[in-house]
């Protein structure tokens, strides 16, 4: 497998922008890691051997990578466009700044690729989603897995959105305020993702064969293997 390409993490730490600040206060690193462990086990990632190569896309400050390491995985490659978030983690080993639409990784080099709440940040749906998923399918081994968890319109998510509109709730609950801030700052891409759910699933199915799909509590859980060819 080729290693993630430059640009690597620089010497200086950038100041988080408003969205990054909200993301960093939405959950503690410990809360985030526990959440990811639950998801990864449900997504059957834990069935792979410890030496499997795991690609952690849109990795942020590293909650998923830490969850994977706590599960025994030793070969985790983390990629994100934000150097600030990558630097917010304690250990930047295996991390690189990279664009998911053009992965700096060799064909058929990855056992598992996972993304948690990153695809809905893509600016153009379905064009950028198609580019990203094509790249993920390219780097996965034929028997590899793709596991994604993304926001999805459900009654529960509508209720959360209602809470986000309440100044009183936002004042009382910092987690809701952080979520509301992130939604406000990414509203265009966020709403486009939620409104184009059929196209999103069709794009997923274009590149992957479904193994398991679940929609609940405002989330889509998608597990698939790369289609041949």
- Interatomic CA distance for residues 163 and 180, integer angstroms: 9
Angle of CA points 159, 212, 205, to nearest 5°: 90
Q: Write down the residue that tokens 């600030």 correspond to.
A: 84
- Are 123 and 189 in contact by the 8 Å Cβ rule? The answer is yes
Question: What pTM did the predictor assign?
Answer: 0.90
pLDDT for the residue numbered 84: 80
pLDDT tens-digit map of 150-199: 999 999 999 999 999 999 999 999 999 999 999 999 999 999 999 999 99
CATH of range 18-226; options 3.40.50.150, 3.90.1570.10, 3.90.78.10, 3.30.1050.10: 3.40.50.150
Average per-residue pLDDT for the chain: 90
**Lowest mean pLDDT, pick from 4-8, 182-186, 202-206:** 4-8
Strand stretches in the chain, DSSP E: 53-57, 75-80, 95-97, 110-116, 140-151, 208-216, 219-226
pLDDT tens-digit map of 42-56: 999 999 999 999 999
pLDDT cut 90: percent of the chain above it? 80
Over residues 71-96, mean pLDDT: 82
Radius of gyration of the chain (CA): 17
pLDDT for the residue numbered 118: 95
Q: Write down the residue that tokens 């983690």 correspond to.
A: 89
Order the strands of the 95-97 sheet from edge to edge.
95-97, 75-80, 53-57, 110-116, 140-151, 219-226, 208-216
The domain spans of the chain are: 18-226
Over residues 98-109, mean pLDDT: 95
- Interatomic CA distance for residues 164 and 177, integer angstroms: 7
Q: Half-sphere exposure (CA, 13 Å, Cβ side) for 208? A: 31
């Amino acid at each position: 497998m080729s290693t993630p390409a430059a640009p690597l993490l620089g010497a200086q730490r950038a100041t988080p922008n408003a969205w990054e600040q909200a993301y960093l206060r939405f959950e503690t690193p410990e809360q985030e890691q526990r959440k990811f462990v639950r998801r990864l086990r449900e997504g059957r990632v834990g069935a792979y051997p410890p030496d499997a190569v795991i690609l952690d896309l849109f990795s942020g400050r590293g909650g998923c990578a830490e969850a994977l390491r706590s599960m025994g995985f030793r070969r985790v490659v983390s990629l994100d466009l934000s150097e600030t978030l990558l630097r917010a983690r304690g250990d930047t080993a295996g991390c690189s700044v990279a664009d998911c639409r053009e992965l700096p990784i060799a064909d058929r080099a990855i056992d598992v690729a996972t993304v948690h709440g990153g695809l809905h940040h893509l600016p153009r749906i379905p064009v950028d989603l198609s580019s990203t998923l094509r790249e993920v399918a390219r780097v996965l081994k034929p028997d590899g897995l793709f596991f994604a968890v993304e926001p999805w319109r459900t009654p529960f998510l509508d209720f959360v959105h209602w809470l986000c509109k309440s100044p009183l709730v936002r004042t009382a609950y910092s987690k809701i305020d952080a979520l509301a801030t992130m939604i406000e700052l990414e509203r265009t891409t966020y709403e486009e993702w939620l409104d184009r759910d059929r196209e999103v699933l069709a794009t997923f199915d274009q590149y992957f064969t479904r193994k398991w799909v679940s929609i609940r509590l405002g989330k889509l859980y998608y597990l698939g293997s790369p289609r041949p060819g």
